Structure 1
Amino acid sequence: MEIVSGLVSYALAKFLFLSRLSNKENAEKIKKMEEKVLEVYDIIRTIRDPEKPNSLEELEVVAEDCIEVKSLDDDDYLIIIRFTPTVPHCSLATLIGLCLRVKLQRCLPYKHKLEIYISEGSHSTEEDINKQINDKERVAAAMENPNLREIVEQCVLEPDD
């Protein structure tokens, strides 16, 4: 009985030790993802609205809590952004999504996959716009349009540029 008790005690001690290590690793991963969220937010918050002189942050189109970052592997991340247009019938919602995509593709120093969506229930044609802004071929075609490309360039410029 003493041997069994000793084995149970040893197993429990080992479990608790490994559990604490696991919790420490999880805490480090969570901290790293929070830092990535802040980095992404810092990049997108200065994008200007296509119709107004305000930034997306000022108009509350984007916020820190609309960004989610997940690790796919050591150096590759999935970034999910949910933005909220100022009105449910915003005609420039697709353009805003395109600006988000372009700015992040240019500015993020690490490998990433982007998923950009309109916040659920915030736009009348939400599904169609979500398809457009996440379709590589549609994004590439849009960026081939010189007029559209010029608008995107103006929106993604930093205020000091």
Structure 2
Amino acid sequence: MTDIERPSELDLAAVRAVLPHREPFLFIDRVSPGGPDEVVAWRETRADEPHFAGHFPGRPVMPGVLMVEAMAQCLLLLYWYNAEIEDLFFLARDKSRFVHPVFPGDTMRIVGTKVRYRRRMGIGAGKIYVGDKLCAESEITFASGGKIP
């Protein structure tokens, strides 16, 4: 665990200061730690987001690949809260399930949980909810050029 003091909640400006992603590929609006091995992030989806225009006309839904990206960004924030990391890279996703669609206007609650760290690799589990309904889940593997405890 690092001795750098981390704020208890990050708003959008603070999220931008931590993550390298930018609109239209930033899928986290705010985040709070849920405990030592968990963070909870939120994303308000908007009808004017470009991916909704073609996925699918007349019945827009959030693409599954972008839900996986939102979970990966949430897990990056989990590792930021809990460790000094450098050059964290998304390596793989496993066990992805898409259970319920996310529609424009829905607020995604994205939960990132540590599964394990080993040397310079980490595995995390992500889940997306709208209200209390599970929409998607995936296991995501990362590697670091820096330190993961």
Relative to total residues, which structure has the larger strand share, 1 or 2?
A: 2
Larger Rg: 1
Q: Which structure would you say has the larger RCO, counting Cα contacts within 8 Å and 6 or more residues apart?
A: 2
Fold match, TM over 0.5?
Answer: no
Q: State TM-score, norm by structure 2.
A: 0.35
Between Structure 1 and Structure 2, the one with more helix by share is: 1
TM (normalized to structure 1)?
0.33
